[in-house]
Amino acid sequence: MASVAPVDAPDSARVGYLLRLGDDALVLGQRLSEWCGHAPVLEVDLSLANLALDLIGEANLLLGTAGDADRLAFHRDVLEFHNCLLVEQPNGDFAQTIARQLLYSTWQHMQLQRLTGSSDKFLAEFSAKAVKEIAYHRELASEWTVRLGDGTEESARRMAEGLDWCWRFVPELFEVDETLQAAIESGIAADPREFEEQYRLAIAAVLAEGQLETPAEQRPILGGRRGHHSEHLGHLLAVMQFLPRTYPDATW
């Protein structure tokens, strides 16, 4: 099927950037919603569902500004998604979900703080609102990281394994390619390289509080921003997209 991302449009850097932000939020929101009804306890079930709803709300705004949100969410294939690889990683156990959330929310929070000063009016206003939601995501993930790390022997082992699984996807968050460079130069995007050191210090501080070691550096895995995804994204999209694709006229 034809690509719905108008990559040749005059404001393609803007659309490309919106798709990255929107796809991150959509895919992570869908991942978190998989916990609904399965979380370790009722209260955590609600916590994770709230995070998912925040992210899907953000995705709706971002993709709705990039184009038609429903078409972008439900009628693109894997190669046309621009999310980072971290957010599509499977939930694993609760500790792995928290590790993914800590690593992503901390990055997202720092990025949104900068985007409140974007030259793009929509992005500046969007970020001013979203930054509060994501500050909460970051705090919640940090608190759970500390409790699992500084909890029982089993919870500490699981937390360390979850971090180890996710760690190879962190460098992608700070990669600047041509699309992002163009968006940075036009003043609409935040340059992640400016806060990489701050990010690593912040993560290290949370891990230290949780008696956790910073994982050893691993060979980074890159490519999500260019549509090169892991097999996990295809399975996620199959679940998320099958209904509107099978029943294109369905309304609810």
Applying CB under 8 A, the residues found at the interface with other proteins are 40-44, 46-47, 50, 140, 143, 147
- Write the Ramachandran bin of 135: left for phi over 0, alpha for psi from -120 to 50, otherwise beta: alpha
Tell me how far CA of residue 127 lies from CA of 87, 117, 236, in angstroms.
19, 9, 27
Which residue number, 46 or 243, has a Cβ lying nearer to other proteins?
A: 46
Residue 98 in contact with residue 145, Cβ under 8 Å?
yes
Burial profile 205-216: b = 16 or more Cβ within 10 angstroms, e = fewer: ebbeebebeebe
How far apart are CB 158 and other proteins at their closest, in Å? 14
**What does the alpha-carbon distance between residue 67 and residue 151 come to, in Å, rounded to a whole number?**
45
How far apart are CB 171 and other proteins at their closest, in Å? 30
Q: Which positions ≥6 away from 219 have C-beta within 8 Å?
A: 168
Which residue number, 140 or 183, has a Cβ lying nearer to other proteins?
A: 140
How far apart are CB 151 and other proteins at their closest, in Å? 8
How far apart are CB 110 and other proteins at their closest, in Å? 21
Which residue number, 143 or 175, has a Cβ lying nearer to other proteins?
A: 143
Which residue number, 42 or 216, has a Cβ lying nearer to other proteins?
A: 42
Which residue number, 143 or 164, has a Cβ lying nearer to other proteins?
A: 143
How far apart are CB 115 and other proteins at their closest, in Å? 25
